Amino acid sequence: MNDVLTLWERAAAAPPDVRDEALLGAAAPASLSARNAALLALRARLFGATQRLVAACPGCAAQLEFEIDCGALARSLLPAPDAAGAHELRHGGYRIVYRVPESGDLRAAANADDFATALLRRCVAQCELGGIAHAVDTLPDEVTDALSDALDALEPGTCVDFDLRCVDCGVQWNAPMDCAAVLYGEVRARAEALLVEVDALARAYGWSEAQVLALSPTRRAAYLQLVGAA
C-alpha cells in the first residue's frame, strides 16, 4: 500500500500530459503500445486484473458499465517485435518511409492546428510519388488510411478503446480509454482513503503513519471499526 502513496505523490505533482511517465517512472517505454500495456499491467498488480469501467451512451446518456481484464488487455496491446525503426509503405504509386509515433511525438503535435498532419511530418522521413518528393500533408485519404492500418499492425495499443452497444437505445460507439488518467484516478482515490485511515488511527492510538500502513488491511479495518471510523 506504500506503493500507492508513493505513486500518488509522484503522479500528483506531474502535469496530466506526462502522468503516464510519472506513474511508470524511469522504466516508461517510448512505445505508446508498450506504455499503455505497462499502465494496464501496473493496474492489475495494484488493484487486480478485473476493472469495471463506465461509459455514457452518446445517444441517450445512459451509463453503461462493463468489465475489462487489464492483464489480458495489456498482453494484446504489445507492439510488434519489429515496430521500432524505419518501415516502408508502397501504395498506389506512393512510397513512404516512416517510423511509429512515440510519446514525445504526441506531445510535440498536441498543440498544432492540425494534429494528424503534425504527427505525419514528425514520423514520415521520406514521401515520394513516382520517385518524386511529395508533401505529406497532401497525401490522399486512401494512402493515409493504408499508413494508419500499417501503424495499427505495428503498434496495436497506441489507442485503447472499446466497441460498445447501448442496451437501452441500441446505439453503437467506440469509447476510448486514457489508461494513465484512469489509473491515476484510482491511485488518487485509494491514496486519499488510506490517508483518512492513517489519520483516524494516528489520532486514536498515537501510531505513526508507517505503523498504520504496516498493518494488514484486515487488521486495519478491524481497528477502524473499533474506533468508529469504519
Q: Which of 74, 166, 191, 194 binds Zn ion (CB under 5 A)?
A: 166
- Closest to Zn ion by CB, 84 vs 164, is 164
Residue type, 155: E
Q: Is 114 a binder of Zn ion (CB under 5 A)? A: no
User: Min. distance of Cβ 94 from Zn ion in angstroms?
Assistant: 41
Closer residue to Zn ion (CB): 129 or 175 = 175
The verdict on 62 binding Zn ion (CB under 5 A) reads: yes
Region binding Zn ion by CB under 5 A among candidate stretches 29-37, 95-103, 154-162, 171-179: 171-179
Asked if 56 interacts with Zn ion (CB under 5 A), we say no
Residue count at the site for Zn ion (CB under 5 A)? 8
Binding of Zn ion at residue 60 (CB under 5 A)? yes
Residue number with CB closer to Zn ion (57 or 143): 57
Q: Based on CB atoms, which residue is closest to Zn ion, 57 or 77?
A: 57
Give the SS3 label for residue 15.
Answer: coil
**Integer distance in angstroms from the first to the last C-alpha of the chain?**
18
In angstroms, the CA 203 to CA 208 distance is 10
List CB contacts of 65: < 8 A, sequence separation 6 or more.
52, 53, 54
Q: What share of the chain is helix, strand, coil (3-state, %, to 5)?
A: 55, 20, 25
Specify the residue for cell string 505513486. Answer: 7
Question: Of 162, 156, 157, which Cα lies nearest the Cα of 175?
Answer: 162
Range in contact with Zn ion (rule: CB under 5 A) among 55-63, 70-78, 128-136, 193-201: 55-63
Q: Which of 169, 196, 222, 227 binds Zn ion (CB under 5 A)?
A: 169
Residue 109 CB: number of other CB atoms within 10 A?
Answer: 19
Pick between residue 133 and residue 167 the one whose CB is nearest to Zn ion.
Answer: 167
**Least distance in Å: CB of 73 to Zn ion?**
24
Residue closer to Zn ion, measured from CB, 59 or 93: 59
Task: Find all residues with CB under 8 Å of 183, minimum gap 6, and list them.
Answer: 23, 39, 42, 43
**Part of the chain binding Zn ion (CB under 5 A), chosen from 16-24, 79-87, 105-113, 168-176:** 168-176
Residue of 17, 168, 192, 199 interacting with Zn ion (CB under 5 A): 168
Which triple of cell numbers denotes residue 192? Answer: 486519499
Phi-psi region of 164 (alpha: psi -120 to 50; beta: other; left: phi over 0): beta
Which residue from 16, 25, 59, 104 is in contact with Zn ion, where contact means CB under 5 A?
A: 59
Q: Which of 90, 107, 142, 87 is nearest to 18 (CA)?
A: 107
Residues at the interface with Zn ion (CB under 5 A): 57, 59-60, 62, 166, 168-169, 171
